[in-house]
Each structure stands twice: as structure tokens, then as C-alpha cells.
A and B are shown apart, each in its own frame.
Chain A
Amino acid sequence: MTDPVLSVTDLSIRMQGAPTDLVDGLSFDLMPGETLCVVGESGCGKSLTALALMGLLPTPPLRLTGGSARFAGRDLFAMSAPERRQIRGGDMAMIFQEPMTSLNPALRIGEQIAESVRRHSGASRDAARQRALEMLERVRIPAPHKRLDEYPHQLSGGMRQRAMIAMALANDPSVLIADEPTTALDVTIQAQILDLMRALQQQSRTALILITHDLGVVAEMADKVLVMYAGRAVEAGPAASIFRDPQHPYTIGLMSSMPSLGTRTDRLVTIPGVVPPPNALPDGCRFAARCPFADAACAAKPAFDMLGDGHGVACWHAPIEQTRSPAPAMGAIA
């Protein structure tokens, strides 16, 4: 049994002045070479989690209120700032959603990649430039010699995202966090980038945390899935198991609100309402207000129950077919 490369336990993040945690007790393990997809709507805390792991959380207004993240045998959250800097961009790297805003517009592509190589490996200027060229070739950018001396604005969106990936992988990280890496791209370019990430991952055995809201992308990429709602993990497990046997009403609602590519239906099923605002998160199940199965039991926080096979769910009423059967165990029916 190999050890996880990253092990997060009870991660909690709070906003200044808020009575409850924005991200509340999040735990997961990431194995070497594995792809974990984190799914959820905007504001569910998936990006905050990524920023916290990278040590990029804007404090204040946000701060960690608990939890640990063991990476290579040490707790990331207990490290000093210089130690974090050594890891960030080196052994742990991140790709952002919008490559145009995360690349430096005034630096040539080659310089940006080389900068990170030199910072982390102490390579010479020439060696770093050579490495940058090699990385551009690996991410299959056409005419890499030419691209090396171009500025980000001269590249198309897909090419920029490739350059970002080249930069993130330049130091052979053991963990790569990608926050919606293909959301801003067209479907054809998205397919290219996903293929590329899969191929590179197979070569390098980098573990990948892929943050997305597109269940299609999840089905294509994930080994494991973590479904988040309003800062909590509501369901997690192997991808095949999540899609074959979805448990949480939120997961089921998300899956059914996507337009089906199979038979055409008259109307889309919706999840009513909106995500609760961060300053008014309920104590009990945070999804209860939007859940068609909610009743009095949901006023208490549901535990995260493991169903075996690594598949777990935090819901009083999972599986739902038993809830809807004649005699509900819990008193009132909403």
C-alpha cells in the first residue's frame, strides 16, 4: 500500500466576521499519479481549498481555522513562509482558469518558464531556457523556438493554457492543482488540453487535483470525485461508483440538471433556489433549503458515512429510495 502524496484532514477556512466556517472540515487523500476531481457550484469553496493548499489564501479576510495537510510527511500549514515558497511552483504547482490574467504580460513566455526553473533548481540561465524549450515541446506547442520569445498576448487562449501547463510542470511537481483549466476554452480546444494533461500525467505520475463544474470533464478525467456544497464534502468516492450509484440529492440534482445528450427531454430538472450566502450558512445540512427530500432530521449536521469501496456520503436520507418509501423514519415530512 503506497502512502498518499497529499493528505488533507479537517480543513476549515473562515471569513473575517463570519459566524461559521466557509470551508468546513474537508478531508481527502491524494495518491501518486491519481486524478481527484472536485465538483461544485461557484462559491462552494473549491477554489478556496486550492488556494489554501498552495499557501495563497488571502489572509485577511480569510484564515485557516483548523485542519492539516500532510505533504511529503510534513504539515503544509505548519511550515514557514520561505518553506512554502520552496514548495509552491516546485513540488506543488497550480494552473489557473484564465491564463491571460495569470501570465505576466510583460515577460516573454520562455523567460516566465525559465524563471520558475531557476528559482527552484538553481539551474543556469542557459539550462533553464533549454528546459523551457523542452517543456513547450512536451505540451505540443507548434514552433516552440519561436514561441519562447513571444509575449502572452501573441498566443491564442489554448496556447496560453498550454504555456501555463508547461510552466507548472517544468519542475516535475508531485501534485498539480488545476482550477477550471478548460472552462474558458472552446470544446475542441478543451478536448486537446484534457488529452494533453492525461498524457503528461501518465509520463510523470503527477497527482492531479482538477477543480471543475463540468460533469462531462469529471467523467473523462477522474479517478476519484469529491462533490462539495457550500463548503462541505457532501459525497466522495471512486468516479465510476459516483456515476453508477450517486447518493446525495445534490449530486443527483446536478447530474439531472445537465441537458442530456441521449434522449431529449421536454424540461430540464432544476435544483431550486441558490447557494446560501457565506454569512448565513445553516448549522445542519447546508443543502436542506434546496433539497426536495429535506425534513426535520436535516436540521442536524449529517455525518459523512462510508458505504464501502471508498464511497461516502453526508446525508440523512441516502439512499433516497428508502426515504421515499411509505414510512419515513424521522418524524415530520416537509
Chain B
Amino acid sequence: MTRTILKATGLRKDFVTQKPLFGAPTVVKAVNGVDLDIQAGETFAIVGESGCGKSTLARLLVRLIEPTEGEVWFNDRDIAHLPADDMRALRKDLQFIFQDPFSSLNPRMTVGALIEEPLRAHGQGDSAARQARVAELLGRVGLTPAHADRFPHEFSGGQRQRIGIARALATGPKLIIGDEPVSALDVSIQAQVVNILEDLKAEFGLTLIVIAHDLAVIRHMSDRVAVMYLGELVEVGRCEDLFSAPRHPYTEALLAAIPIASVGARKARTQLDGDLPNPISPPPGCRFHTRCPYASARCKTEHPPLRAAGPQGAGHQVACHHADDLSLQGLQDASAARSAAASARFDLYRAARGAAPGPATSETT
């Protein structure tokens, strides 16, 4: 009973980097023909190296920037071509969490005013009702109502990200996009924020789109994953399918590059040489062929479209000519290498934290 909440078709964004007096301008195709279907209630992740266009795509999906071409349908309305007034009204359903909690909060506003601002902008409630809502939201993200009178600089990075989350939640959105919401945080704080996002998602029945480059966090949080390379999707699939049996060589290389926190767990890795090619002049054919260990002559000339792969109904898609002939290596299970003594202590720690394996908070939806 899945329902599509957000659908993008043929989405493209060109940025003009240089406009000479004469001749053609230099254009970067940051997002080049992306089709996406996001189901209501799922956590959808977009991964890729810096410069692959994942942040541009995220901004296009909620129309923080205008697409050059293509459509974005949110609940059967094409938001890419909606008049500004209607779009503003719709914003309460579509919220955004930014990467850097230090630069995305106005330093001259109190935390209370920051969280109240979206409520005021959408004309929700009177002053007293809004104050009550602010206090409630602060509690929901693990802060206290007393924090409302303080300024952002008085908080640590993790706390600021919580404020950003409370602000995004204020108007009761249906869909939240997080652009690297935890990458600026320390490991222990990162875990706290990931848990909060998951709790809130379950509690309010949110749909979550997460942009990230940390594959371990992605694997933990998401239901489906899209892998992006130079402005195009190269693989889309269910999280467990994609991590255990990747079908695109780029996905395999990304997985192989994750450092594994277990001594001696590392096997020989497929090394990806070189950097991301310049997006101003992407390679012809398959954009990945310059770094791909499996590339053939065909890959240099013919651009592979994103097509269905794997068993019917799994919804796995891949853009590779050779996806059917390659047998690629997924993520190796590193937990097997963990010693009994370490595992026993992890369990003790978990028990002492009161977070028994399994549900720790109510899973109400």
C-alpha cells in the first residue's frame, strides 16, 4: 500500500559558470535528467561524492532552486511550476534541514524565535499557542523549554542541529529533506541525532530524504538508496539489496572504500583511481568509464540508461551496460571479526544505557 509522495521526472539543472561576451556560455549540468519516486513514509537516501550534484538535487526537490527542465510532483501537484503564493503555502509540508548548524541559524534570534518563525510565517495559532508549541518541540528534540530564551552560539553543534530539526518540524511537515544532517557532528552526538530523526519520523509519520556521504549512517537509516555520479543516478534500490549485492561498479567502489572498524577486516579493495571528472565536460558515453575497472569500448561511446535490474518487484534500477554480466562484491560483514569479549562489553554498555536491543521508545505512527 505504498503511495508516491514525491515524484521527479526528467529533472535537470544547469548552472552557467562563465558567460563570455561572444560565443556560447560554459554550462555545468549539475543534475542531468533525474527520475525519482519517493514513497510516503520511507527514508530515502541519496549518496555520492562531493560535486556529484546531490545537494542540488535535494534543493530542486523542494524547489529551493528552480529547475532548468523537468517536473516535481508532490502529492499530485507539480511544484516546479506552481505560482509563488501557492508554493509558499505548500512549504509547511516540505521542510529542509541543513548540514551546517553553525551557519543555518540566525545568530541574532533566540532559539524560541527561530522555532516560532515558521509558525508565524504560516499564520498558525496565536502567540500563546505558538509559545506552547515551541516548548513542546524543544522537548521533542531533547532540549528543555528554558532553552527558548538563549541564542544559537550558546549551544554545541549537536544541540544546534536539534534546534534545526525542531524548526523544520514546527509546521508539521509531511516530508523533510536533510542535507548531510549529521556529518558535521562527532560520532557520539551523531548517534543521538540519528535516533531523534528516526523517532520523530515514526511518531509523526514523516517521509525523510537524507543526503549523505557516510555510507554507514545511510545503511542504518534508510529504506531505499540512490547512488549519484556526475549529476545522474547510476543505481537505485532497496538498502539491503544495494549494500549486499551492488549492481553498478561505482557502488561497489564506494562500498569497498568504507574503512571498517575492526583490525584486519580489510580485504584487498578495488581501488578507485583519480578524482571525479570535471562536470563542465563530463566524459562521453558512460560518465563513469574513466574510473571504471570493468569499462569496455561500448562504455566509451554509448550512454547507459537507468533500467530495471534484478528480480521483478524489487524495484532495483541500474545504469550500466554490463550490470547483468558482472558479479560485484557487496559489503563484507565486519561484525564477525568482533571478539567475544568486545561484544559482551557492548551488550553490557547497551544494557546499562537502558537501551535494550529492540524498541526503546514507543513506535507509534
A residues bordering B, Cβ < 8 Å?
Answer: 41-42, 142, 156-159, 186-192, 194-195, 213-220, 239-240, 243-246, 249, 252-272, 274-275, 292-293, 319-321, 324
Min Cβ gap B360→A in Å is: 6
Q: A219 contacts which of B259, B275, B336 (Cβ < 8 Å)?
A: B259
Residues of B within 8 A of A194 (CB): 259
Q: Quick one: closest A residue to B352, CB to CB?
A: A292
> Hey, which chain B residues are within 8 Å of A268, CB to CB?
191, 194-195, 220
Please, which residue of chain B has its CB at the minimum distance from the CB of A142?
B274
A31 CB → nearest B CB, Å: 18
Contact A187:B195 (CB < 8 A) given known A41-B188, A42-B186, A213-B186: no
Tell me which residues across on chain B come within 8 A of A217, comparing CB atoms.
259
Looking at the complex, which one of A157, A261, A293 makes contact with B352 (CB distance below 8 Å)?
Answer: A293
Q: Is the CB of B348 within 8 A of A261?
A: no
What are some 9 contacts across the A-B interface (CB < 8 A)?
A: A156-B275, A187-B257, A194-B259, A219-B265, A254-B188, A259-B216, A262-B338, A292-B354, A324-B352
B217 CB → nearest A CB, Å: 6
Residues in A with CB closer than 8 Å to B216 are 258-261
Q: Does B271 contact A (CB under 8 A)?
A: yes
- Judged by a CB distance under 8 angstroms, whether B198 is at the interface is yes
Using a CB-CB cutoff of 8 Å, which residues 196-223 of chain B contact chain A?
198, 213, 215-217, 219-220
Chain B residues closer than 8 Å to A218, beta-carbon distance: 261
**Chain A contacts of B186 at CB under 8 A?**
41-42, 213
User: B342 touching A213 by the CB < 8 A rule?
Assistant: no
Known A261-B334, A261-B335, A270-B195; contact A192-B259, beta-carbon cutoff 8 A: no
Q: Which 8 A-B pairs have the closest CB atoms?
A: A262-B335, A216-B259, A292-B352, A259-B220, A257-B191, A271-B188, A191-B257, A268-B191
- Which among B219, B254, B259, B333 has the highest number of chain A CB atoms within 10 Å? B259
Bound-state CA distance A214–B22 (Å) is 50
Q: Is B349 a contact partner of A292 (Cβ separation < 8 A)?
A: yes
Contact B341 A216 (CB under 8 A): no
- With the chains together, A214 CA to B213 CA distance in Å? 14
B188 touches A158 (CB 8 A): no
Q: Is B357 an interface residue (CB 8 A)?
A: yes
B26 within 8 A of A: no
- The interface residues of chain B lying within 8 Å CB-to-CB of A246 are 342, 345
User: Is B219 a contact of A269 with CB atoms below 8 Å?
Assistant: no
B259 to A214, Cβ gap below 8 A? Answer: yes
In the assembled complex, which residues on chain B have CB atoms less than 8 Å from the CB atom of A293?
352
Shortest Cβ distance from B97 into chain A, in angstroms?
18
Quick check: B257 and A188 within 8 Å, CB to CB?
A: yes
* Complex Cα spacing A275 to B159, Å: 12
> B138 to chain A: closest CB distance in Å?
16
Check A243 against B262 for contact (C-beta < 8 Å).
yes
Interface contact A219-B261, CB-CB below 8 Å: yes
A220 shortest CB reach to chain B, Å: 5
A318 to chain B, nearest CB (A): 10
CB contacts under 8 Å to A, within B254-290, are 254, 256-266, 269, 271-276
Indicate if the CB atoms of A267 and B49 lie closer than 8 Å.
Answer: no
A292-B353 CB under 8 A given contacts A259-B219, A268-B195 = yes
A260 touches B335 (CB 8 A): yes
- Please indicate the chain B residues that have their CB under 8 angstroms from the CB of A259 in the complex: 191, 194, 216-217, 219-220
- For A319, the closest partner residue in chain B by CB is B345
Provide the B51-62 mask, 1 if CB < 8 A to any CB of A, else 0. Answer: 000000000000
In whole angstroms, how far apart are the Cα atoms of A309 and B363 in the complex?
A: 46
Which residues of A sit under 8 angstroms from B344, Cβ to Cβ?
321
Which of A156, A219, A263, A275 is the one whose CB lies under 8 Å from B262?
A219
Q: Residue B327 at the A interface, CB < 8 A? A: no
State whether A191 touches B269 (Cβ < 8 A).
yes
Please measure, in the bound complex, the distance between the C-alpha atom of A253 and the C-alpha atom of B49, giving whole angstroms. Answer: 29
A213 to B195, CA, bound (A): 20
On chain B, the residues within 8 Å of A240 by CB distance are 263-264
Give chain A nearest CB distance to B357 CB in angstroms: 7
Q: Which of B271, B342, B355 contacts A192 (CB 8 A)?
A: B271
A120 CB, min distance to chain B CBs, angstroms: 31
Q: Report how far A63 CA is from B135 CA in the complex, Å.
A: 42
> Is the CB–CB distance between A244 and B341 below 8 Å?
yes
A74 nearest CB across to chain B (Å): 34
Known A259-B220, A261-B258; further 10 A-B contacts with Cβ < 8 A = A157-B50, A188-B272, A252-B345, A254-B188, A257-B188, A261-B335, A267-B195, A292-B352, A320-B349, A324-B348
Q: Which of B198, B215, B274, B335 has the most CB of A within 10 A?
A: B274
Q: Which residues of A contact B254 (CB under 8 A)?
A: 187-188
- Closest partner residue, chain A, to B272 (CB atom): A188
Q: How far is the CA of A190 from the CA of B353 in the complex (A)?
A: 33
Decide if B173 is an interface residue (CB 8 Å cutoff).
no
Q: Which of A158, A188, A239, A324 contacts B253 (CB 8 A)?
A: A188
Most interface-central of B50, B188, B198, B273 (chain A CB within 10 A)? B188
Residue in A159, A189, A191, A261 whose CB lies within 8 Å of B219: A261
Give the shortest distance, in Å, between B319 (CB) and chain A (any CB).
18
Q: Are A245 and B259 in contact (CB under 8 A)?
A: no
Enumerate chain A residues within 8 angstroms of B359, measured Cβ to Cβ. Answer: 266-267
Is B87 an interface residue when CB atoms closer than 8 A count as contact? no
Q: Which of B186, B240, B336 has the most CB of A within 10 A?
A: B186
A263 touches B335 (CB 8 A): yes
**What are the residues of chain A within 8 A of B262 when measuring CB–CB?**
219, 243
Alpha-carbon distance A187/B215, docked complex (angstroms) = 9
Q: Would you give the shortest CB distance from B256 to chain A, in whole angstroms?
A: 8
A266 neighbours in B (Cβ, 8 Å) = 357-359
**Nearest opposing residue in chain B for A187, CB measure:** B257
Cβ contact within 8 Å between B263 and A267: no
Contact call B188/A321, Cβ cutoff below 8 A: no
CB distance A264 to B220 under 8 Å? yes
Give bound CA distance, A275 to B185, whole Å: 13
Closest A-chain residue to B273, C-beta based? A192
When distances are taken between beta carbons in the complex, the residues of chain B under 8 Å from A213 are 186-187
Q: Are B187 and A320 in contact (CB under 8 A)?
A: no
State whether A267 touches B355 (Cβ < 8 A).
yes
Q: Hey, which chain A residues are within 8 Å of B258, CB to CB?
A: 187, 216, 261
Contact, CB under 8 Å: A267 / B360: yes
**Contact present for B49 and A186 (CB under 8 Å):** yes
Q: Which residues of B contact A253 (CB under 8 A)?
A: 188, 349
Q: How far is the CA of A134 from the CA of B334 in the complex (A)?
A: 39
